[in-house]
């Protein structure tokens, strides 16, 4: 059986560095990348020149870079731009994994291009790489119900039930990664939507 060619070369998960932030909602992108690395038995190493931690995932004979910026969320673009320049990666070859307050915990969505919708990490990446044409994996962490509480919410820990739902969404996203890496985006979207419906029916 032949596989479709790998179209993505960089998966960047967003978050804030340090133990203080490790369990907060804003670090959902880090949670996903840590789980992806564990699944493939690879480890992250620090790269100060690229302002982050990186790992190399070999998939279908291709090298895919996994990257966690260590510049803090609002400055994510500097690190992502450095990696893209070093490995000569195009915006269309980039997947950014991030927390999404406009999606409920347990929900994960794949999206191609678009704006930043107020997400400071995405905003900085768009400014630094000069393009919106990258792919996003949006992990729902829920909205506090008041826009004035958003910052406190994303910088705090999810409840035990919310974390269970977020972990289930990450499981679904991991299962869809072969399709995403191969550029089978429509199939990945369908699979993610189907898995979400199945989870809600349990």
Positions marked active-site? 26
CB-CB contact of 97 with 23 (8 Å): no
Count CA atoms closer than 13 A to 92's CA, side-chain side.
5
**Residue 182 CA to its chain's centroid (Å):** 17
Q: Whose structure tokens read 């969320």? A: 73
End-to-end CA distance of the chain: 34
Q: Are 55 and 44 in contact (CB under 8 A)?
A: yes
Q: Are 106 and 140 in contact (CB under 8 A)?
A: yes
| Alpha helices (H) in the chain, listed in sequence order | 28-39, 76-87, 120-129, 150-154, 160-181, 185-200
Spatial CB neighbours of 69, under 8 Å, sequence gap ≥ 6: 12, 14, 15, 51, 52, 75, 76, 78, 79, 80
Instruction: Write the burial class of residue 150 (CB in 10 Å: 0-12 exposed, 13-18 middle, 19+ buried).
Output: middle
Name the packing angle between helices 160-181 and 28-39 (round to 10°).
Answer: 60
């Amino acid at each position: 059986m032949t596989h479709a060619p790998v179209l993505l070369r960089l998966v960047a998960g967003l978050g804030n560095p340090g133990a203080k932030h490790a369990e907060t909602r804003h670090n959902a992108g880090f949670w996903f990348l840590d789980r992806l690395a564990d699944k493939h038995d690879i480890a992250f190493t620090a790269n100060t020149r690229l302002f982050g931690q990186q790992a190399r995932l070999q998939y279908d004979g291709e090298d895919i870079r996994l990257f966690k910026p260590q510049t803090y969320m609002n400055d994510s673009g500097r690190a992502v731009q450095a990696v893209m320049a070093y490995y000569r990666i195009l915006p269309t070859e980039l997947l950014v994994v991030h927390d999404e307050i406009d999606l409920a915990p347990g929900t994960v969505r794949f999206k191609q291009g678009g704006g930043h919708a107020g997400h400071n990490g995405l905003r900085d990446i768009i400014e630094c790489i000069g393009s919106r044409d990258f792919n996003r994996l949006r992990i729902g962490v829920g909205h506090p119900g008041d826009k004035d509480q958003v910052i406190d919410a994303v910088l705090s820990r999810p409840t035990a039930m919310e974390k269970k739902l977020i972990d289930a969404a990450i499981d679904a996203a991991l299962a869809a990664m072969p399709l995403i890496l191969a550029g089978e985006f429509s199939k990945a979207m369908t699979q993610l939507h189907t898995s979400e419906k199945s989870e809600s029916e349990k």
